[in-house]
Amino acid sequence: MKLVAVVATAVLSRCSHGCPQPCLPSGIGGLLYTIRDGAPSFKHYNSRGDVVAATNALGVLTYQAAYEAFGQHGDTPSSQEWGETDDRQQANTKDEDPHGNLNEGFRYRDLDTGVFLARDQLGYQDGPNLYTYVQQNPFTKFDPQGLSSAYAGVSAQRWLNSGGY
């Protein structure tokens, strides 16, 4: 079986109001689509970078998922999966390990507790707790690489001009 994966570096778009918004379809370095045995699968993401759907070349929905605030999925009433996908990525370029931890790029995060397993390499930039994820506020913030949080609605230009944070 041959697998082709295409990744993004950063994509800008405009929202319906005309202002620039981050359009990080799979986060920095994430999958845009894969081709397995000649069949493409296009990934669709929420504002945090979780894969919420996949479509085939005809635009037919082949996979759909819902997530809870800290990224749990598939085993609770508010987080469900439908369909099948060979690309077991949850968020960004982040794969879940067998223990349910999520690789956020620079460190692993426990999906059950919502905290990182290693302290923040940047120190106290996100507050006094070096292990917390987005200051325990996943509803309005995201952390694309596991280093520091950003508001989900931050403009793409401001986000890119500040070095990504």
pLDDT of residue 162: 60
pLDDT of residue 103: 77
Q: Kindly state the percentage of the chain with pLDDT values over 70.
A: 55
- In the predicted model, what is the mean pLDDT of residues 143-164? 62
User: Which position has the higher pLDDT, 13 or 133?
Assistant: 133
The residues facing 21 across adjacent strands are: 13
pLDDT of residue 158: 58
pLDDT in tens, 52-87: 888 999 999 988 888 787 777 665 555 566 676 655
d(CA 147, CA 125): 9
Provide the token pair at 36: 């397995």
d(CA 58, CA 144): 30
Q: What are the residues whose beta carbons fall under 8 Å from the beta carbon of 48, sequence distance 6 or more?
A: 67, 71, 91, 138, 142, 152
pLDDT of residue 23: 42
pLDDT of residue 59: 92
pLDDT category at 19 given cuts 50, 70, 90 is very low
Residue 13 exposed, middle or buried by CB count within 10 Å (0-12, 13-18, 19+): exposed
pLDDT of residue 10: 37
pLDDT of residue 60: 92
pLDDT in tens, 107-146: 888 888 888 898 888 777 777 888 888 878 877 777 766 7
Q: What is the pTM assigned to this prediction?
A: 0.57
Among the residue ranges 48-52, 91-95, 140-144, 149-153, the one predicted with the least confidence is 91-95
d(CA 145, CA 148): 8
